[in-house]
């Protein structure tokens, strides 16, 4: 693939914010914004508005899971490891091309998975810990995105917010299979079942995509505590009405809380300007576009067909509605029965629902196998 380096300066205006929400006792989300040329990871003025250097800019949101403090540890580990790996794999590399950049993002994501999985194995009290990851790297006039789980990225252009990542979730697979409409998926009791996260398994398949940006575009990265409480047109409206990115982030979090705030809420908003960007045109494609470099042919996020079939059976099985918000669980991983409980002496609601979710999926799998005989 050709280098996407812009011919002029690209200016990034960026801000991020996180909130515990109205239900959770502590915040398991984490985020990072970094100028990869200087390795300045901060929201101080020098990064909040900066001209992208030859190594680009990083934006990342991670949403932890696992009960007690395990999710908080996982999300923080993910942001720190991805940043350190991009320093080693990209900033210190003699190569400066887009293929190397995209490969570094994927490699950093995979390394974060390995590290979190190893940490959980070495610390039994954190077994089952994991985190989603939505990672966007801007190089020149193009974004490169790595996706694991159901945090999201939207691109807002000309008054429209379009999701440019794809959820790695049961609902997404059922929508693609024509089993559910997006509207039905929004209210499903199983909408929080995800197919991948960093940490629960020794290996992860990263969905690597790319998206050209245009002058005036706004990038929104968020955890599902935000995206699950509003629709794309709400995001577009708030972005268009907001006088600045601080106000935009504040308004998005407030709307998520007004709509219930059942989970932690994290958002990064970045606006792109400068002579290095072309103005938007009607023919520009915006959406989920798989990245394949000239030197790599690895598939992005192929989900096992048997697992999808099993989960489809699970989705059709009757269940009793529950009043509390359902936390995200990976399928089919759950903390082992020997995992140490939180310091309060009893399992946290997240841990209990992880266990019940895994039991439900195992029962559904047994029913599926029996039906297939």
Report the CATH number at residue 190: 3.60.40.10
Asked if 104 and 186 sit in the same domain, the reply is yes
| Beta bridge mates, 138 | 57, 143
Check whether the bond before 332 is cis (ω within 30° of 0): yes
| Assigned domain for 289 exists | no
| Assigned domain for 3 exists | no
Least trusted range by pLDDT, from 152-166, 167-181, 289-303: 289-303
Residue-wise pLDDT for 8-62, tens only, equals 999 999 999 999 999 999 999 999 999 999 999 999 999 999 999 999 999 999 9
| Assigned domain for 280 exists | no
Asked if 310 and 362 sit in the same domain, the reply is yes
> CA angle, 225 as apex, 222 and 226 as ends, to 5°?
55
| Domain termination residue (choose one: 256, 273, 290) | 273
Asked if 211 and 326 sit in the same domain, the reply is no
| Domain termination residue (choose one: 222, 257, 273) | 273
| Beta bridge mates, 147 | 134, 207
Asked if 169 and 268 sit in the same domain, the reply is yes
151 is written with which tokens?
A: 């945090």
For residue 367, the tally of other CB atoms under 10 A from its CB is 15
Asked if 365 and 324 sit in the same domain, the reply is yes
DSSP-derived letter for residue 290 is B
221 is written with which tokens?
A: 């990265």
Cβ neighbours of residue 147 closer than 8 Å, sequence gap 6 or more: 133, 134, 135, 153, 165, 166, 168, 206, 207, 208, 209, 301
Cβ neighbours of residue 161 closer than 8 Å, sequence gap 6 or more: 154, 155, 220, 232, 233, 235, 236, 239
| Assigned domain for 282 exists | no
Asked if 197 and 311 sit in the same domain, the reply is no
DSSP-derived letter for residue 302 is P
| Assigned domain for 288 exists | no
Asked if 343 and 214 sit in the same domain, the reply is no
372: confidence class by pLDDT, cuts 50, 70, 90:
very low
| Assigned domain for 202 exists | yes
Residue-wise pLDDT for 295-350, tens only, equals 655 544 444 444 444 444 444 433 323 333 334 555 543 333 333 333 334 344 44
DSSP letters for 70-135: HHHHHHHHHHHHHHHHHIIIIITSS--SHHHHHHHHHHHHHHHHHHHHHHHHH-GGGTT-EE-EEE
Crossing angle of helices 245-258 and 232-241, rounded to 10°:
140
Asked if 192 and 328 sit in the same domain, the reply is no
Stated pTM of the model = 0.81
Q: E strand or H helix at 171, and its extent?
A: helix 170-176
Asked if 227 and 339 sit in the same domain, the reply is no
Half-sphere exposure of 108 (CA within 13 A, CB side): 33
Asked if 221 and 326 sit in the same domain, the reply is no
183: confidence class by pLDDT, cuts 50, 70, 90:
confident
* Tally of structural domains, the chain: 2
Cβ(126)–Cβ(340) below 8 Å: no
Question: Which range is most confident: 63-72, 110-119, 335-344?
Answer: 110-119
189 is written with which tokens?
A: 């009791």
Q: Which percentage of the chain shows pLDDT scores above 90? A: 68
Asked if 152 and 228 sit in the same domain, the reply is yes
Residue-wise pLDDT for 227-239, tens only, equals 999 999 999 999 9
Asked if 123 and 257 sit in the same domain, the reply is yes
| Beta bridge mates, 142 | 139, 212
| Assigned domain for 310 exists | yes
The dihedral region occupied by 274, where left means phi > 0, alpha psi between -120 and 50, and beta the remainder, is left
| Assigned domain for 296 exists | no
66: confidence class by pLDDT, cuts 50, 70, 90:
confident
Whole domain around residue 54: which residue ranges? 11-273
Half-sphere exposure of 12 (CA within 13 A, CB side): 32
Cβ(326)–Cβ(171) below 8 Å: no
111 is written with which tokens?
A: 């390394």
| Domain termination residue (choose one: 221, 250, 273) | 273
């Amino acid at each position: 693939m050709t280098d996407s380096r812009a011919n002029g300066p690209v200016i990034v205006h960026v801000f991020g914010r996180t909130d515990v929400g109205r239900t959770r006792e502590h915040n398991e989300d984490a985020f990072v914004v970094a100028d990869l040329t200087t390795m300045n990871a901060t929201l101080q003025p020098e990064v909040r508005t900066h001209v992208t250097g030859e190594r680009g800019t990083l934006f990342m949101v991670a949403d932890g899971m696992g009960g007690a403090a395990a999710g908080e540890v996982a999300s923080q580990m993910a942001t720190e490891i991805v940043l350190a790996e991009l320093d080693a794999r990209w900033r210190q590399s003699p190569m400066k091309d887009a293929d190397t950049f995209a490969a570094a993002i994927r490699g950093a994501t995979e390394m974060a998975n390995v590290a979190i999985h190893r940490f959980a194995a070495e610390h039994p009290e954190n077994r089952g810990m994991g985190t989603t990851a939505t990672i966007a790297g801007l190089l020149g006039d193009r974004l490169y995105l790595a996706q694991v789980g159901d945090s999201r990225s939207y691109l807002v252009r000309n008054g429209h917010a379009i999701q440019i990542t794809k959820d790695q979730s049961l609902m997404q697979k059922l929508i693609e299979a024509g089993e559910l409409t997006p509207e039905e998926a929004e209210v499903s009791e199983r909408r929080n079942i995800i197919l991948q996260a960093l940490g629960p398994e020794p290996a992860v398949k990263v969905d690597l995509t790319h998206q050209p940006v245009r002058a005036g575009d706004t990038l929104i990265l968020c955890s599902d505590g935000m995206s699950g409480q509003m629709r794309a047109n709400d995001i577009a409206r708030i972005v268009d009405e907001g006088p600045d990115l601080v106000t935009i982030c504040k308004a998005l979090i407030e709307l998520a809380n007004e709509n219930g705030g059942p989970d932690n809420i994290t958002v990064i908003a970045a606006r792109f300007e400068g002579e290095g960007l072309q103005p938007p045109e009607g023919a520009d494609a915006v959406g989920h576009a798989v990245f394949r470099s000239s030197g790599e042919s690895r598939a992005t996020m192929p989900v096992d067909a048997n697992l999808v079939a099993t989960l489809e059976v699970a989705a059709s099985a009757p269940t009793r509605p529950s009043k509390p918000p359902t936390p995200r669980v990976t399928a089919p991983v759950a903390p082992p029965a020997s995992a140490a409980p939180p310091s309060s002496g009893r399992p946290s609601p997240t841990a209990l629902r992880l266990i019940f979710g895994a039991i439900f999926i195992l029962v559904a799998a047994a029913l599926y196998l029996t039906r297939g005989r």
